[in-house]
């Protein structure tokens, strides 16, 4: 790849990362090209489709979450971190809502599921809970709180608390029995 192309590509990725984070996948290719200071057609020289561009940006975000799963001590800490990331990046929300179905993204989610599974293995959860459950439920918590994102930006913490109380096995008492 020629030096000028490397530079163009970086400008494109920087602009896309910023705009997708703020506005989600719905920001137009024209806007991204303008912000990057390049022609609209050039975007498609680097990425065959808009979806491919989104997948490249979102892939990095998912890798960051996998790192977090490996570095954070507990399942609880990971879930707090993960929902927090969902709350501040609209592109990640679009992945969570299933509107991005790119194979690279699916692979990234799969790696995240596996990393979450390793945390579940070391945690005291109710029986049958998998890493995949944890990842899906994180997105559910975020999306429940999302409509009030502006009015109550910390609402997801409360909802995550409810979920964790249903998910974690506290050991001492019998939290999941119904009288």
Residue 147 engages a copy of itself in binding (rule: CB under 8 A): yes
- The residue (of 7 and 126) whose beta carbon lies closer to a copy of itself is 126
Q: What is the CA radius of gyration of the chain?
A: 19
- The residue (of 4 and 150) whose beta carbon lies closer to DNA is 4
Which residues fall within 8 angstroms of residue 90, CB to CB, at 6 or more apart?
A: 20, 21, 22, 23, 24, 25
Residue 104 engages DNA in binding (rule: CB under 7 A): no
Partner from a copy of itself, DNA, none contacting 130, C-beta within 5 to 8 A by type:
none
Residue 171 engages a copy of itself in binding (rule: CB under 8 A): yes
Q: Which long-range contacts (CB under 8 A, 24 or more apart) does 152-160 make?
A: 153/87, 156/83, 156/84, 156/87, 157/80, 157/83, 160/79, 160/80, 160/83
User: How near is the Cβ of 13 to DNA at its closest, in Å?
Assistant: 12
Residue 76 engages DNA in binding (rule: CB under 7 A): no
Q: Is 46:10 a contact under the CB 8 Å cutoff?
A: no
User: How near is the Cβ of 47 to DNA at its closest, in Å?
Assistant: 8
Q: Is 144:86 a contact under the CB 8 Å cutoff?
A: no
Residue 103 engages DNA in binding (rule: CB under 7 A): no
- The residue (of 28 and 130) whose beta carbon lies closer to DNA is 28
Question: Which positions touch DNA (CB under 7 A)?
Answer: 1-2, 4-5, 7-8, 27-31, 38-46, 48-51
């Amino acid at each position: 790849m020629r030096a000028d192309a490397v530079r163009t590509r970086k400008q494109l990725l920087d602009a896309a990362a910023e705009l997708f984070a703020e506005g989600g996948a719905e920001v137009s290719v024209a806007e991204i090209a303008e912000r990057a200071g390049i022609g609209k057609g050039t975007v498609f020289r680097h990425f065959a489709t808009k979806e491919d561009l989104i997948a490249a940006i979102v892939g990095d975000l998912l890798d960051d979450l996998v790192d977090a799963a490996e570095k954070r001590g507990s399942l609880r800490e990971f879930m707090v971190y993960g929902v927090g990331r969902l709350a501040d990046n609209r592109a990640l929300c679009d992945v969570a809502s299933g509107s991005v179905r790119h194979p690279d993204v699916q692979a990234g989610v799969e790696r995240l599921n596996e990393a979450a599974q390793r945390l579940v293995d070391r945690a005291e959860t109710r029986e049958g809970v998998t890493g995949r459950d944890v990842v899906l439920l994180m997105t559910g918590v975020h999306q429940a709180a999302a409509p009030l994102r502006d009015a109550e930006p910390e609402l997801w913490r409360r909802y995550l608390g409810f979920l964790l109380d249903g998910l974690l096995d506290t050991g001492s008492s019998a939290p999941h029995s119904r009288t």
